[in-house]
A and B are shown apart, each in its own frame.
Chain A
Amino acid sequence: MSSEWKFTAKEIAERTDLFMSGHRACAGCAPATVHRLVLKAIRGPTIATNSTGCMEVTSTIYPFTAWKIPWIHTAFETAAANASGIETALKVLKRKDRIEHEHVDVIAFGGDGGTFDIGIQALSGAVERGHDFLYVLYDNEAYMNTGIQRSGGTPLGAWTTTSPAGRRIPGKPQLKKPIADIMVAHEMPYVATASPAFWTDLLRKVRRGLEVDGPAFLHVIAPCPRGWRSDPSKSIAISRLAVETCTFPLWEATDGEYSLSAPSKVMALRPERKKTVTEYLKMQGRFRHLFKPEFEHVIGRIQETVNKRWHKLLGKCNIS
C-alpha cells in the first residue's frame, strides 16, 4: 500500500513539527534537519529511539525534550535492540488487546559511530530477526559528540582528532565502510540512501521504509559544520554536492533490487553533469591538508574510489 501523501512543500510546511525547535544542536547541524524531516514523513502513531550521540544529547537535555512523540534512549550500541524490544512489545500487547492503536511505527536513529561501528552487531541481529522498524542512520562521518574522532563511516583522507592530518599520514588512511550495501546483503526488504538536500526523495524513502513489512534501513548523509570544518550555512549545499559528485549516490534497494533515485539518475544519464570530488572536498576544512602538493595524490585516490564505487553501483542498477 503506497502513501497518498505526495510530500509537497506546502503540505510539509503545514505538518506539525514533532522534532521541536529549542534543541541544542549547533548552527548548521544537518542531523537536526534530518530528524525534523524524518518526523515530517511519519504516517501515524510512532515511537522513536536514538543511540547515544549528538542528537540524543542535544534533543533531550533534562528537563527539556524536543520530542513530541514517545522516545527512549538506552545506550550507544543499542538503537536496533531498542527498536526490537519496542516492536515486539507492541506486537504482543496489541495481540493481548492492551494497546488501542491499530498500528504503531518504530523508528531507530543512530549516528555513524552507533551504526557502522559499535552498534552494527545489534543492527545485524535485529534485521536478521526481521523486526518491523525503520532504522535511520544520520551519517556525519565521525564521532562528533565526543569531539570529532574517526569512525568506520569517516571517508578516506579526512582529518579527525584520531586521524590527524599529520606530516606522514594525511588524515584517515582507510576507506568508508559500505554500510548500506552490507545491509542489502542481509536480504532485508528495503534499503535506501538519502540526502537532506533532496528532501522530497528523503521523505518518500522514510515513508516507504515505514510501509514495508519488516526492517528498513535509510542511510542519510548529514554534514556537521564543527567536524567537517565547513561553513554552517553550507550544510545543505554540501549534502547536495555529495550527491552531484557521486561521493554519496542516492539509490534504493527493494528486496535486494537496486535502482538509482532521480537525483543520481541524472548523473548516470548525463555523466557530464557529474562534478569532481575536488568541488566537494574544497568546501570542507577536514580535507584542507590534501590540497598541499605532497598529499594531492590522496585526492586522486578519493576520485578513483568514488568512480569505482559509482560504476559498481551502476552495474547493480543495470545501467552500463
Chain B
Amino acid sequence: MTAIHQKGQKVIALNGDEAVAYAVKQCDVDVVAAYPITPQTIIVEKFSEYVHDGEVDTEFICTESEHSALTCCLTAAAVGARTFTATASAGLALMHEILYVTSGCRAPVVMAVANRALSAPINIHCDHSDSMAERDSGWIQLYAENSQEAYDSIIQAFRIAEHLEILLPTLVGLDGFFLSHTLENVAVLPDETVRNFVKQRQFPLVENHDGKMVPFKLDPENPITIGPLDLQDYYFEHKRQQEEGMQKAPEIIRKIHDEFAERSGRTYGNGLVETYGLDDAELVTVCLGSTAGTVKTVVDQLRAKGVKAGLLRIRAFRPLPVQDIVEALRNAKAIAVMDRSCSFGGYGGPVFHEIRHALYDSNLHPPTVDYIYGLGGRDMPQHMIQRIYQDLEKIRITGKIQHPVQFIGLRE
C-alpha cells in the first residue's frame, strides 16, 4: 500500500469490467464502438456514463452488432484514431471474420474480452472457448488473473498494439463473472500518469502509389489504398509481415510491462509469464486467467507441507513466449496443464498443445498431462487443484501417465 501511495495512486472498489472501463477512460481513446453482451455489459454501460457525463473526449458508437463494432474500430483506427471495443462469447464469434481483417490491415485496436462459454447450450458463464477459438486470428492475447491486472493490461495494450514494430490488435481476456462482476480493490494511477504513459498514436511511413513515403493512415493529403485485393503474388508476403510483428512482440510486451511497473509498482512475472514457487518446483501446473489465484493458494498450502509445488501462469498466450515457458519448466518433474476450453477431437486443449509442443525441442520431456476444467463457469475449487497435484505426485513417482487428457470437476 505504501508503494501505491508513493505513486499517487488511489485504491477504489471496482469489478473487472469497471476496471477496464476506468482504464479506457484514462487512455485518451478517440473512438469506442461496442455492442452489449453478458458478461462484458458493465464495460459499455460504464463507458456510456463517462461519455454522457462528459468525463471523456471519446466518440462512443453503440453499434447494431459486434461485427459492426469491430469494423467501426478498424476503420476509425485506419483514419488515425485510438480505438477500443469489448465483447464476449458469441459476440467474439460474430467478430471472427473482422478479427482477421483487423490484424491484416495492421489496425491497432484494443479489445477486452470478458471470457464466456460459447453456445450451444447457451451459457453466460466463464470459460475460454471464445478467445481460444481466435488464437490464430493475428491478435495479441493477454489474460488477466485479477481486476487489477485487467486494468493494468488494458493500459499496456494500447502501447503494445500501437508500437510501430508491432501494429497488431491486442485482446485482454478477463474471466467472465469471476473477474468481470467481482468487486476488488483496484489501485488506479492518476489520469496524467496514464496519459503520459500511453502517449499519442504514431504512424509508420509507407510508400504510396506515387513512390512518396506517407503516414500509414487514410489522409486526403496523402491518399493510400488499404485492404486491397491481394493474390498469389503478394498475399503471402503480407501474412509473413504480420508474423514478423508477432515475433517482435514478446520483447516489446516485456519492456512496456517493465516501464509500466516503474510507474505502478506492479509486475506480472516478466510480462509474458508469471512463475509462482517454480524455482525448485517438481510438480507444476500451467494455467491462465483467474484460476491462477486459486492455484497460488494451493501451492502455498502444499509448500507448507513440504511438497515442491509450483505454478506457471501464461499471461501472453499470443505471441507464445516459448523460451520463457521452456526456461520456467526446466526443473519440473511432472506438469499438469489446465485448459478452460476444449478442442473437440484434438489431443487435449489448446494450452496443452502449446506447452507440450514447446517442450518437445527443449530435450526436456517431463510427463505432461492435461485437465479440461471449468467449462460454462463450473467452479474450480481448491480441493480439485489439490487432486491435480496428487495426480502429479503419482506420475512423478511412477513415471507413468494413466490419462494424458482428462476432464475434471464434472459428473462422469
Contact = CB atoms under 8 A, between A and B. Distances in A.
B61 interface: yes
A173 interface: no
Interface in A67-108: 67-75, 77-78, 80-86, 88-93, 95-96, 98-101, 104
Contacts, number: 160
Contact of A78 (B57, B64, B68): B68
B328 to A, nearest CB: 39
A224 B64 CA distance: 32
Given A75-B101, A86-B79, A122-B71, A65 B218 contact: no
B327 to A, nearest CB: 40
A106 B335 CA distance: 55
Contacts of B72: 81, 84-85, 88
A200 interface: no
Contacts of A128: 64
A227 B211 CA distance: 37
Contact of B57 (A47, A74, A95): A95
A147 B24 CA distance: 45
B223 A67 contact: yes
A57 B229 contact: yes
Interface size class of A (residues with CB under 8 A): 35 or more
A69 B223 contact: yes
Contact of A72 (B33, B58, B226, B233): B226
B230 interface: yes
Q: Which of B80, B81, B98, B234 lies at the interface centre, i.e. has the most chain A CB atoms within 10 A of its CB?
A: B81
Contacts of A122: 64-65, 67-68, 71
B45 interface: no
Interface string B213-242: 000001111011111111101100000000
Contact of A70 (B64, B76, B224, B228): B224
Interface in B72-117: 72-81, 83, 97-98, 101, 105
Contacts of B229: 56-57, 60-62
B123 to A, nearest CB: 25
B226 A73 contact: yes
A178 interface: no
Given A81-B71, A85-B76, A121 B228 contact: no
Contact of A82 (B71, B97, B221, B225): B71
Contacts of B33: 84-85, 88
Contacts of A78: 67-68, 71, 98
B80 A81 contact: no
Interface in B300-323: none
A62 B59 CA distance: 33
A70 B220 contact: yes
Contacts of A71: 218, 223-226
A208 B33 CA distance: 29
Nearest to A46: B220
Contacts of B219: 70
Contacts of B220: 45-47, 69-70, 101, 104
Contacts of B76: 85-86, 88-89
A95 B225 CA distance: 25
Contacts of A83: 75
A41 to B, nearest CB: 16
Nearest to A99: B80
A91 B79 CA distance: 11
A63 B234 contact: yes
B209 interface: yes
Contacts of A98: 80
B63 interface: yes
A99 B101 CA distance: 25
B101 A74 contact: yes
A89 B75 contact: yes
A81 B63 contact: yes
A77 B226 contact: no
A72 B68 contact: no
Contacts of B68: 78, 80-81, 84, 121-122, 125-126
A124 B30 contact: no
Contacts of A46: 220
B210 to A, nearest CB: 10
A235 interface: no
A72 B74 CA distance: 10
Nearest to A47: B218
A72 B218 contact: yes
Q: Which of A84, A126, A129 lies at the interface centre, i.e. has the most chain B CB atoms within 10 A of its CB?
A: A84
A124 B30 CA distance: 24
A49 interface: yes
A210 B321 CA distance: 50
Contacts of A69: 220, 223
A69 B209 CA distance: 11
A89 B81 contact: yes
B165 to A, nearest CB: 23
Contacts of B405: none
Contacts of B234: 62-63
A169 B220 CA distance: 50
B59 A88 contact: yes
B202 to A, nearest CB: 12
Interface in A123-163: 124-126, 128-129
Nearest to B234: A62
Contacts of A67: 223, 225
17 contacts: A57-B229, A64-B209, A67-B223, A67-B225, A72-B75, A72-B105, A74-B75, A74-B227, A81-B63, A81-B71, A82-B74, A85-B31, A85-B76, A88-B33, A89-B75, A89-B76, A93-B80
- Closest CB pairs A-B (n = 9): A125-B64, A85-B75, A45-B220, A60-B228, A85-B72, A89-B76, A89-B79, A81-B71, A73-B227
Given A81-B68, A85-B74, A86-B79, 11 more contacts: A49-B75, A70-B219, A70-B224, A70-B226, A71-B223, A84-B68, A85-B72, A88-B33, A92-B31, A92-B59, A92-B81
